[in-house]
Chains A and B, each alone.
Chain A
Amino acid sequence: MNFFQIVSAAMPQLIKGAQLTVWYSIASIILATVLGLAFALLKLSRFAILRRIGEIYVHIFRGLPLLVEIFYIYFAIPMILPMHKWFDPYFTPIAGIIALALNEGAYITEIIRAGILAVDRGQSEAALSIGMTGPQTMRFIILPQAFKRMVPPLVNQFIQTIKDTSLLSAISVTELTRSGQIIISTNFASLQIWTAIAAVYLIIILLLTALSGYLERRWQIDKR
């Protein structure tokens, strides 16, 4: 069998794996962004205790290897909390998505915080001066401006998230990487299959990059 025959025979299974990779990525990116926004606002709070909570979150989840976090949530926590029973049979995807989201969320916290801090103080002063409350100022004035600036680093982090889903193969999620490993264990065609896997990852990330390029143009990021 030549290269193309091997790859096309494996394609249906690889595409299934790629679909899982995409779904895991989307779910954990959404959850990570929610976490990132929440903890960024905590870190910017005027209350020391809330700031401290945000700092601890970032410190822990940015400070540990992602694989350790995945194992901790998947293997360690069920030893004291029978989560795997509560969420059966969905525990594996839930644990995987939560582990990824907690980790990426720590990085996104810092991206969002930096984006908010980069908005000129005069903007919030002007908003407060027309009688807006703090939350209104954040929502209508600061975040829309901060968000435009956050797009490039956020896309970076989203790409990282997509690639990091490959670590979920370690808890037997049959995403793209794990699908490939299974195929190779039967046909031993390492070169061909890993090449195909690499190509699929690059295509997924190319699509995301194209989407972000489109959004940047639409929001005219470099105009301001």
Chain B
Amino acid sequence: MELQLENIGHSYDGLTVLQDISLNIPTGRIICVVGPSGCGKSTLLRLIGGLERPTTGQVLQLGSPPARSINPLTYIFQDFALLPWRTVEGNISLVLEDHQLKTAETAAIIDDVLARTKLSDFRTALPRQLSGGMKQRVAIARALAVSPAVMLMDEPLSALDSQTRELLMDDLIGLWIREKFTAIYVTHNLNEAVRLGHSIVILSRRPGQIREVVEIDIPLDQRHPGEPELESKQQHLWQMMRDEAAAADKELIDG
């Protein structure tokens, strides 16, 4: 299943946050969206997943999602969004309970995603007992459980420290190598973008418009930190964003 954005524009109470965004999201690739703070990255993601209606334009699904996909458009949130009163297992079963799966089927899915995210030993732990990195792993496991056609990742690593971020980036790359999922990955971290993105969409500051789309052809599993080509791409992205970010930084929050 592919997604296509057609002239998306969005405004809150007359304040335009996104303007004229057209983009193709092909199957099996990770599209990173970067931009200065307040450029509407997260809004764009909410529009794509149907949590908000765009003011103008539309988001199109091309083709239908695979039959086994329980929740085709699935989010991973920055603040994990785990239910604190449910265990790791319970948080994953939450998203399966509404779909009339057989008990054995549910158990099999949970076992599988916990194994894939290396969480099998923590199935009965409560979120408060887990570190930030582990919480995000649970959220990733929950997303995998509904076998999404497209993953919508809203700064998934931004709440984590840099070491945990490295580890989780490796995990995400491992997961993608195993099963080439489609993802839109919103971040303000350029390093994450060049490590994970097949193409990187740079948004301007508010109102957010696409400034450039940078393609990176190196396979994900060969993008080691410190690689010269990645460094130069990151440098290029930063050059482009620098002035925008500085200007965005000086804006008043509510205009």
Q: Do A and B form a real pair?
A: no
Binding site for A on B (CB under 8 A): none
